[in-house]
Structure 1
């Protein structure tokens, strides 16, 4: 009876079962680490503006309260009060429960806020902002707090590839204002009837100025529910396979087989029981690897962003799913074989 391959199989099974739980993008982690290291060096050398840019890049790659705190300090040290206060507002919104971040951000706003103009911005859908030509740090959001230096400032917003018209703000020290952005809509087509003149239609944008429409929906992508089923199935099968491998090794065990089956050859009942369990374990290994592979494919074709179009919302309704891991007596000697039942209901 050969137990050596079982130990190796258990290790392979564990790897397959955990492969579905993908961590953060390694490339982004590396970029964030490199940017943070470069920022720390620049900060130490007294190059605060350069350091702030690196810390902001690190936070953009992998959001981090630590990187954001260093960016706030560096902007303040560089004398860029409006940028430091804007970063502080972002920190308060993103990490309200982080005591260290909250303390620094609150102190920064209290110190710098009175000399700046506070703009509360709302967007019709998640947008990115820019003050003049400088992008405001942060991920796309529907609500922003931006601090501006006194004077006439221009504030713009973008919705993917669609830009909203810029708005001019007369910023004053200690002042505040509310700004609303919505995507720029195409003008109605007022093309004159044939025979009534040529040229560009009145009231419409020129071809170069017409905003691009939103990207086409990825209708071929599927709801996340099948991927969730795959994750649960992979984990359940992995655990069952590990149990089966341990049971194969320990029951009846190599020593017991050698003792009881001496002189009986392969006809020994105990030997055949061990062979049966080894076959069961190998089958579970194959099933686990297969389900893990399918789960990986599902992760690629899943629509993680959801469907923002309310008229299509019903297309991606969550699919009811179930997983049942139990045991059923399948052998005459009273031993039990594990049983796994899983699935999902619905249509794509």
Structure 2
């Protein structure tokens, strides 16, 4: 009986188990490497897990001969959980991807961090001997921890004060980003087979900007802004009219009192009734009291007239223009009525006032 060879398809479940086992081994290896290295800060469990996932992607990409993709995953794994094994795989992947500048830059980093490791030192020497003559080396010194980018691609693996970067011959834009904030850039022309030192300092902190001031708004030609004049006088016209009324009333009372003084008892009655009695005569005394009353009213009228004039001129704010009539050039006629008694009493009445004498 002839035997037959049968091929069995790979079980997806077995592939998943194998993949999980590989990932677990990668996590264990990275965790052991990170914990055994005295030069590196112990990464967190989350970063170790992320590094293991990147490492597994890089391994599968490398087996698929996608060397550039594999190198990117190995570099990501190194950033999350630095180890010499991961860095060596990244160097080999860059060499296989025909990217000598990136491979030499990683080799310079491996020489600085793991130069005492025999396997790492051998790979570093091979890589630099193979590529350094074709490249341009830049030793970058930063005044504060920084990262380096060449032509918008990050070429450093962490923030540091010193970096060795290899570039292909030609013109490149170097970008330096500082950990404390800020960045600077420099365009360089990289000649083949040379080494150049560069130094960078963080840019000065930006000055605090003041709040912008509002620009004045210009009035349009068609807009007219009018403002009322300030009210410099405290009283309105009503006060002046009230004062005028008081003055007129006082003047009327003065006129009435003057007429009464002249007629009650009157000069004729005093002359007839006070013959031979002198100033002690009752009629004379009554006439003198009337004269005093009239003089008091006259003083009140004059005072009210003065106050009214002051209010009208100096303290009244007139809100509308008033037309003024021209005064007559001739003075008003004065009416003087005199009467003399035997005792020498006389009374004078005029529109400006009234005065009497006995």
TM-score (norm 2): 0.46
TM-score (norm 1): 0.47
Larger Rg: 2
